[in-house]
Amino acid sequence: MPFKANASRRHHVSKQRHRVRNWAEYDAGLRARGSLTVWFTQEAVERWRAETRNTPGGQRTYSELAITAALTLRAVFRLPLRQTEGLVGSIIHLLGVELAVPDHSTLSRRAKVVRLPVVPASSGGAVELLVDSTGVKLCGPGEWLVEKHGTQRRRAWKKLHVGLDAATGRIVAATLTDHDVDDGSQVGALLDQVEEPLARFVADGAYDQTGVTDTVAAHTPDAAVAVPPRSTAVPSANAGTNPTQRDRHLQHIAEHGRLAWQKSSGYNVRALVEAFFSRWKRVIGDGLHFRTDDRRNTEIGIAVRILNYMLDLGRPDSVRVA
């Protein structure tokens, strides 16, 4: 590892190798992700028209499900709104059904207020929650334009915070904030979206804060917290008589080393959330296309539904090869 900081003091661990045991089913699931029948179902056709309202105001033409289906197609195939309108129109024409096609202006307007279905419960029991954040770009000059002409301002971006169920890989919570928002401040907002109790809360060193520990305890008093203490961390004043979880982590690290603590505390499972961010940016992309925060929140909600459903279509069952 040339030119790597602290290379002489780093642990050199050989790369793990894994074998997928359900390749046939997983391969079929990967192909299904590109099928139009997966994303434009018979249920969407049957519930395309909005229900008649009895309250004052104009009557909507398209139901929440119709708008959600169109925005989902847009995200899956990475289309602008006008091309999304054309794709939906062509699908309806091929199906031979009498349905109106939402135009791009309607999709943009309804994206601001559409109500997405609630993310279903993940595993049905206590959740091992993996929490982390990543940056997502906003609309701005492309890479080629920046390389050729430079840019007049720094490209803006937002911060995406997610909570992942380690057992199923499903996203159970997500929030979008400005890029300078502290990661620990969003733990409460994420836990508000998780109805199940926590078995373990796992996050990186940025979440080594008293407020985070208190927020997790308020949600599930007996939940384990696997957050690596900072290198400058010291035990609390009552560590000798009434040690906290963090005090016990510090003691274990001092006696057995950080790698042993990672294994015993279950911290190593956090690699799953890093792999998830890679999957998000490969499938959904590394940027947001809407230009207002309310529409961007809808865009994030649609992406969460897409990735969860793709996981339901097929998930690899891999084992480590010695």
Q: Mean pLDDT over all residues of the chain? A: 88
Same domain membership, residue 161 and residue 268: yes
In a domain, 315, yes or no: no
Same domain membership, residue 171 and residue 106: no
Q: Is the pLDDT of residue 138 over 90?
A: no
In a domain, 58, yes or no: yes
Per-residue HEC secondary structure of the chain comes to CCCCCCHHHCCCCCCCEEEECCHHHHHHHHHHCCCHHHHCCHHHHHCCECCCCCCCCCCCCECHHHHHHHHHHHHHCCCCHHHHHHHHHHHHHHHCCCCCCCCHHHHHHHHCCCCCCCCCCCCCCCEEEEEEEEEEECCCCCHHHHHHHCCCCCCCEEEEEEEEECCCCCEEEEEEEECCCCHHHHHHHHHCCCCCCEEEEECCHHHCCHHHHHHHHHHCCCCEEECCCCCCCCCCCCCCCCCCHHHHHHHHHHHHCHHHHHHHHCHHHHHHHHHHHHHHHHHCCCECCCCCHHHHHHHHHHHHHHHHHHHHHCCCCEEEEC
Q: What percent of the chain has pLDDT over 70?
A: 89
Same domain membership, residue 136 and residue 81: no
Same domain membership, residue 153 and residue 97: no
pLDDT at site 121: 62
In a domain, 191, yes or no: yes
Comparing 69-73, 201-205, 236-240, which segment has the lowest mean pLDDT? Answer: 236-240
By residue range, what is the domain housing residue 65? 24-111
> Which of 114-118, 123-127, 153-157, 185-189 tops mean pLDDT?
185-189
Same domain membership, residue 132 and residue 101: no
Confidence of residue 232 (pLDDT cuts 50, 70, 90): confident
Structural domains in the chain (count):
2
Q: pLDDT tens for residues 140-164?
A: 655 666 666 665 555 688 999 999 9
Q: pLDDT tens for residues 218-228?
A: 999 999 999 99
pLDDT at site 147: 65
Q: pLDDT tens for residues 249-306?
A: 999 999 999 999 999 999 999 999 999 999 999 999 989 999 899 999 999 999 999 9
In a domain, 236, yes or no: yes
Same domain membership, residue 162 and residue 90: no
pLDDT at site 1: 45
Same domain membership, residue 192 and residue 277: yes
Same domain membership, residue 187 and residue 64: no
Mean pLDDT, to the nearest integer, of 129-133? 96
pLDDT at site 231: 82
Q: Is the pLDDT of residue 51 over 60?
A: yes
pLDDT at site 214: 94
In a domain, 322, yes or no: no
- Best CA proximity match to 276, nearest among 147, 152, 195, 171: 171
Place of tokens 């792999």: 275
Same domain membership, residue 40 and residue 138: no
Q: Is the pLDDT of residue 308 over 60?
A: yes
In a domain, 9, yes or no: no
User: pTM for the whole thing?
Assistant: 0.86
